[in-house]
């Protein structure tokens, strides 16, 4: 009897986890999938009619927004990586006893609400604001220059808002690297650049994957940056979903787009894992 | 939010930032929630549940008119309960030290205790929350809800689902006596069968004269190539559709699908010519203040508040072609538990003294023009404002929004105008 209980214990202990996963992951996903195949309207009710053509309709109507979302997501992820890696590297290798202070400084702006932060960017980047106004007044920029309402502003906002999600996993991965391995590379006549490219970078691949995963998934589905910093021609798929759901009560369209977005994101992640190896993925998950 | 100080005293020199915080319009809150990830998550779940929880129950849903609810005989049987559950938008009633003086006076005068809920952030998500309950034929727990005239959801409540109780106007003498011409017999609710206005506002044009370099008088100025890249348009598609129709000389309230397509063509041209800076939600006001936009579609109450909070140079105009009026309406949802108490409040609110108190705090257009002489004495800045008490010339130019007949009608509108905003 006791043996049975011991064997069952881990499963019993993980029950709350399974319950959580079922309630907040499986149920919503099934609901979303089901709604995407329904027809009807909010007043007469919806019926599950296996209306698969909804997917074709939304793909033809919103393929531009989908492509744009993945493009913005990819560019902002790469930009965040390029900015975050040196930061994480420096903190991990040269931060000394102030490491946690530096990490805290990186996180500090993120104690402010996401929306407020993005609105402050709107303030900073406005046509006659602190940055552009000054540059225009000293004649560096022509009067007609504007940054807001451009793809650049949206991608910059996405990059900024995702930065800590990139820095933290990178930091954890780089921090774990055994310094003796790096020194050994030097002993074997590797230059600094070679040691970085062939030792440090591969050893931090788990962190890179985790960072890419967090940032790319979040940014591709984001709608706040596009609606605050964007303009005509920067609408992302998240904006379309939000609007279909909350304003137009067009639940099938929103659900179909959400499902497509999810499948595409999973595919991209799978591709990444295939190309860079699954060990990195497992390590990242652990 | 509730612990606010005395209503803004415009004679005293208050820090503009603080003043702005105090008078923050409800639409800012509306937007804040819409943007907030957590809020959206919560709302989506509600919307989702409402979307997938029902299948073809419309025939079952009880309708007000079907079983005599709201008829004279039905009203005769209703008794005052001494309780009123009132759902409204945040920051949309007079507030002093966390209390609402107008509601307290109501309780004093009638003995009816008011439970006031600031739960409506936007029409669509609120409707998504209450629809499943109403469809199941149950009370949503509110005796009065406030919904906006240019929202499809009000049309759903009033005409498509018949989820509002017809008002007993014999118990609303103050409405008959004091309601202004702007809110009597509106096109979305002929004869005020179901609704009594709470507050209204205009959607006109605001501009920064220093940047436009000239006076603005016409909606066609939104299409002036001189303002290229600095024109603000709204992301609410009833707003852009309506302003384009005004530009074409079409009355939005009586427009047809052919008119919509003409309006869409005009809007697409405006976008293709690079005139539009962005399709804004509430943030249009920041863009105007920052100088990103020089001329923009605007809500009257916001410009009033901007003028009082550090941006006195911004101007709001009622264009010569016309101005849109939206109205937030009190209505009694079907199965409300205390309908008589709800009527009591509506009647009480339409006294000029009470309407003046609310108007003084909210700064939108009050439905009771007779509140003006009272405010001229108590708070002349508000009493004199044409944005709170529009003059006859403005009243002559108002247009109502199109009333959606069905969900398909609403979808047709969206299909015409949504692609412009979501380019």
Q: Which CATH number covers residue A200?
A: 1.10.3720.10
Is A28 domain-assigned? no
Is A16 domain-assigned? no
Residue B57's pLDDT band, with cuts at 50, 70 and 90, is: very low
- Looking at residue B40, its pLDDT comes to 35
pLDDT at A136 over 80: yes
The domain of B159 spans 18-50+63-200+327-387
Contacts (Cβ under 8 Å, ≥6 apart) of B267 = B233, B240, B241, B244, B417, B420
- Contact of A129 with chain B, judged by CB distance below 8 Å, is answered with yes
Which residue from A144, A239, A245 is facing B422, i.e. has the nearest CB? Answer: A239
- Looking at residue B9, its pLDDT comes to 39
Report the number of distinct structural domains present in chain B.
2
Closest CA to B385 of B98, B10, B38, B3: B10
Is B93 domain-assigned? yes
Is A127 domain-assigned? yes
Q: Which of A63-67, A119-123, B106-110, B138-142 is predicted with the least confidence, judged by mean pLDDT?
A: A119-123
Is B109 domain-assigned? yes
pLDDT at B46 over 90: no
Q: Are residues B179 and B209 in the same domain?
A: no
Task: Say yes or no for a CB contact (<8 Å) between A128 and B290.
Answer: yes
pLDDT at B31 over 50: no
Task: Say yes or no for a CB contact (<8 Å) between A243 and B37.
Answer: no
Could you tell me which residues are beta bridge partners of residue A48? A38
Task: Say yes or no for a CB contact (<8 Å) between A45 and B55.
Answer: yes
Distance (Å, rounded) from C-alpha A245 to C-alpha A44? 17
Distance (Å, rounded) from C-alpha A225 to C-alpha A238? 10
Q: Are residues B235 and B315 in the same domain?
A: yes
Is A257 domain-assigned? yes
End-to-end CA distance of chain A: 33
DSSP class of residue B159? I
DSSP class of residue B403? P
Is A21 domain-assigned? no
Report the number of distinct structural domains present in chain A.
1
Q: Are residues B24 and B46 in the same domain?
A: yes
- Contact of B281 with chain A, judged by CB distance below 8 Å, is answered with yes
Is B10 domain-assigned? no
- pTM for the predicted model, two decimal places: 0.82
pLDDT at A273 over 90: no
Which residue from B36, B58, B229 is facing A146, i.e. has the nearest CB? Answer: B229
Interhelix angle A114-124/A151-176, nearest 10 degrees = 130
* Mean pLDDT along residues A159-186: 94
- Looking at residue A9, its pLDDT comes to 86
The two most distant CA atoms of chain A are separated, in Å, by: 84
Contacts of B127 in chain A (CB under 8 A): 42, 249
**In this prediction, what percent of chain B has a pLDDT beyond 70?**
84
Kindly report the average pLDDT of chain B as a whole number: 86
Q: Are B345 and B175 in contact (CB under 8 A)?
A: no
Q: Are residues B318 and B354 in the same domain?
A: no
- Return the higher-pLDDT residue of B81 and B42: B81
* Mean pLDDT along residues B152-157: 95
Is A17 domain-assigned? no
pLDDT at A14 over 80: yes
**Closest CA–CA distance from residue B155 to any residue of chain A (Å):** 11
pLDDT digits (tens, 9 = 90+) for B385-403: 888 899 999 999 999 999 9
Distance (Å, rounded) from C-alpha B23 to C-alpha A226? 28
Two tokens, residue A213 = 């995963």
pLDDT digits (tens, 9 = 90+) for A23-45: 998 999 999 999 999 988 887 77
Is B46 domain-assigned? yes
Q: Are residues B165 and B222 in the same domain?
A: no
Residue A55: half-sphere exposure toward Cβ, Cα within 13 Å: 13
- Contact of B57 with chain A, judged by CB distance below 8 Å, is answered with yes
Q: Considering only residues 235 to 264 of chain A, which have any Cβ-Cβ distance to chain B shorter than 8 Å?
A: 235, 239-240, 242-243, 245-251
Residue A206 CA to its chain's centroid (Å): 16
Two tokens, residue B295 = 């001329």
Q: Which of A139-153, A251-265, B362-376 is predicted with the least confidence, judged by mean pLDDT?
A: A139-153
Is B403 domain-assigned? no
Residue B243's pLDDT band, with cuts at 50, 70 and 90, is: very high
Contacts (Cβ under 8 Å, ≥6 apart) of A158 = A72, A73, A76, A219, A222, A225
- Looking at residue A173, its pLDDT comes to 94
- Looking at residue B68, its pLDDT comes to 84
Instruction: Report CA-CA distances (Å) from B331 to B120, B162, B422.
Output: 14, 12, 33
pLDDT at B54 over 50: no
DSSP class of residue A41? E
- Looking at residue B281, its pLDDT comes to 87
Q: Are residues B361 and B259 in the same domain?
A: no
Q: Are residues B171 and B46 in the same domain?
A: yes
- Looking at residue B331, its pLDDT comes to 98
Two tokens, residue B389 = 């008490």
Q: Are residues B157 and B41 in the same domain?
A: yes
Q: Considering only residues 89 to 118 of chain A, which have any Cβ-Cβ distance to chain B shorter than 8 Å?
A: 113-115
Q: Are residues B73 and B195 in the same domain?
A: yes
pLDDT at A224 over 90: yes
Residue A284's pLDDT band, with cuts at 50, 70 and 90, is: low
Task: Say yes or no for a CB contact (<8 Å) between A149 and B410.
Answer: no
Which residue from A31, A148, A246 is facing B34, i.e. has the nearest CB? Answer: A246
Helix (H) or strand (E) holding B323: strand B323-331
Task: Say yes or no for a CB contact (<8 Å) between B52 and A35.
Answer: yes
Which residue from B43, B54, B292 is facing A246, i.e. has the nearest CB? Answer: B43
Which residue from A41, A47, A127 is facing B292, i.e. has the nearest CB? Answer: A127
Q: Are residues B214 and B152 in the same domain?
A: no
Predicted interface score ipTM higher than 0.85: no
Q: Are residues B320 and B333 in the same domain?
A: no
Is B3 domain-assigned? no
Is A237 domain-assigned? yes
Is B399 domain-assigned? no
pLDDT digits (tens, 9 = 90+) for B95-121: 998 899 999 999 999 999 999 999 998
Closest CA to B103 of B33, B111, B222: B111
Residue A115's pLDDT band, with cuts at 50, 70 and 90, is: confident
Interface with A, mutate which of B21, B35, B225 (most A CBs under 10 A): B35
- Looking at residue B308, its pLDDT comes to 86
Contacts of B32 in chain A (CB under 8 A): 115
Greatest mean pLDDT among A49-63, B140-154, B281-295 lies in: B140-154
Distance (Å, rounded) from C-alpha A252 to C-alpha B47? 12
Is A22 domain-assigned? no
Is B392 domain-assigned? no
**In this prediction, what percent of chain A has a pLDDT beyond 90?**
63
Instruction: Report CA-CA distances (Å) from B87 to A180, B126, B127, B342, B369.
Output: 66, 10, 12, 11, 24
pLDDT digits (tens, 9 = 90+) for A252-264: 999 999 999 999 9
Q: Are residues B30 and B152 in the same domain?
A: yes
**In this prediction, what percent of chain B has a pLDDT beyond 90?**
74
* Mean pLDDT along residues A130-154: 90
Cα dihedral angle (B267, B273, B274, B277), rounded to 10 degrees? -30
pLDDT digits (tens, 9 = 90+) for A229-246: 999 899 999 999 999 988
Distance (Å, rounded) from C-alpha A241 to C-alpha A66? 11
CATH code for the domain of B373: 3.40.190.10
The domain of A95 spans 56-285
Which residue from B40, B408, B423 is facing A242, i.e. has the nearest CB? Answer: B40
Give the Cβ contact number of residue A286 at 10 Å. 6
**Closest CA–CA distance from residue A230 to any residue of chain B (Å):** 7
* Mean pLDDT along residues B195-219: 96
DSSP class of residue A104? H
- Looking at residue B202, its pLDDT comes to 95
Q: For residue B407, report the phi and psi dihedrals to the nearest 5 degrees.
A: -65, -35
* Mean pLDDT along residues B153-169: 95
Q: Which residues of B204-217 are buried (b: 16+ CB within 10 A; e: fewer)?
A: bbbbbeebbeeebe
- Contact of A228 with chain B, judged by CB distance below 8 Å, is answered with yes
Q: Are strands B295-299 and B231-234 parallel, antiparallel or unpaired?
A: parallel
């Amino acid at each position: 009897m006791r043996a049975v209980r011991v064997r069952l214990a881990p499963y019993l202990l993980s029950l709350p986890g399974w319950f959580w996963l079922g309630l907040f992951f499986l149920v919503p996903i099934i609901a979303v999938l089901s709604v995407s195949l329904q027809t009807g309207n909010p007043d007469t009710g919806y019926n599950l009619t296996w209306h698969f053509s909804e997917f074709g309709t939304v793909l033809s109507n919103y393929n531009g927004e989908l492509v744009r979302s993945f493009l913005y997501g990819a560019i902002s992820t790469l930009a965040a990586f390029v900015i975050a890696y040196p930061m994480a590297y420096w903190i991990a290798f040269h931060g000394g006893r102030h490491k946690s202070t530096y990490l805290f400084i990186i996180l500090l702006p993120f104690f402010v609400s996401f929306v407020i932060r993005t609105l402050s960017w709107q303030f900073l980047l406005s046509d006659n604001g602190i940055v552009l106004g000054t540059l225009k007044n000293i004649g560096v920029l022509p009067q007609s220059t504007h940054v807001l309402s451009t793809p650049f502003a949206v991608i910059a906002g996405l990059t900024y808002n995702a930065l800590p999600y990139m820095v933290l996993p990178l930091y954890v991965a780089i921090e774990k690297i055994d310094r003796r391995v790096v020194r050994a590379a030097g002993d074997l006549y590797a230059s600094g650049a070679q040691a970085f490219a062939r030792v440090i970078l591969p050893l931090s691949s788990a962190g890179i994957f985790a960072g890419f995963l967090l940032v790319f998934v979040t940014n591709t589905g984001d709608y706040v940056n596009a609606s605050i910093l964007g303009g005509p021609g920067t609408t992302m798929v998240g904006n379309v979903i939000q609007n279909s759901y909350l304003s137009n009560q067009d639940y099938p369209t929103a659900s179909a787009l959400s499902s497509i977005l999810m499948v595409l994101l999973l595919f991209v992640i799978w591709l990444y894992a295939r190309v860079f190896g699954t060990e990195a993925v497992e390590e990242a998950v652990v | 939010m509730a612990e606010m100080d005395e209503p803004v005293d415009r004679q005293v020199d208050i820090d503009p930032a603080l003043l702005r915080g105090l008078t923050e319009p409800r639409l800012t809150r509306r937007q804040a929630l819409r943007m907030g990830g957590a809020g959206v998550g919560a709302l989506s779940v509600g919307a989702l549940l409402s979307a997938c929880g029902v299948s073809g129950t419309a025939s079952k849903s009880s309708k007000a008119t079907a079983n005599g609810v709201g008829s004279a005989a039905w009203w005769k049987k209703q008794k005052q309960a001494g309780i009123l559950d009132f759902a409204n938008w945040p920051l949309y009633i007079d507030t002093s030290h966390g209390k609402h003086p107008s509601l307290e006076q109501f309780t004093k005068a009638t003995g009816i205790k008011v439970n006031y809920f600031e739960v409506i952030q936007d029409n669509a998500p609120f409707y998504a929350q209450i629809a499943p309950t109403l469809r199941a034929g149950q009370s949503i727990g509110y005796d009065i809800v406030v919904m906006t005239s240019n929202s499809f959801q009000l049309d759903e409540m009033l005409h498509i689902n018949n989820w509002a109780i017809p008002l007993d106007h014999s118990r609303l003498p103050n409405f008959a006596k004091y309601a202004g011409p702007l809110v009597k017999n509106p096109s979305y609710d002929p004869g005020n069968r179901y609704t009594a206005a709470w507050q209204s506002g205009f959607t006109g044009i605001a501009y920064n004269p220093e940047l436009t370099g000239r006076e603005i008088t016409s909606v066609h100025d939104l299409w002036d190539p001189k303002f290229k890249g600095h024109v603000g348009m709204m992301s609410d598609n009833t707003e852009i559709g309506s302003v384009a129709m005004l530009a074409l000389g079409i009355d939005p309230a009586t427009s047809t699908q052919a008119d919509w397509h003409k309006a869409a063509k005009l809007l697409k041209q405006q976008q293709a010519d690079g005139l539009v800076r962005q399709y804004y939600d509430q943030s249009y006001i920041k863009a105007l203040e920052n100088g990103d936009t020089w001329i923009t579609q605007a809500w009257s109450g916001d410009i009033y508040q901007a003028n009082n909070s550090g941006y006195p140079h911004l101007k709001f105009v009622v264009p010569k072609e016309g101005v849109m009026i939206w109205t937030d309406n009190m209505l009694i949802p079907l199965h409300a538990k205390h309908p008589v108490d709800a009527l009591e409040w509506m009647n009480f609110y339409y006294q000029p003294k009470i309407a003046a108190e609310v108007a003084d705090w909210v700064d939108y257009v009050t439905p009771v023009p007779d509140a003006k002489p009272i405010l001229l004495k108590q708070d002349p800045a508000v009493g004199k404002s044409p944005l709170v008490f529009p003059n006859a010339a403005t009243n002559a130019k108002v247009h109502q929004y199109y009333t959606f007949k069905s969900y398909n009608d609403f979808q047709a509108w969206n299909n015409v105008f949504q692609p412009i905003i979501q380019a």
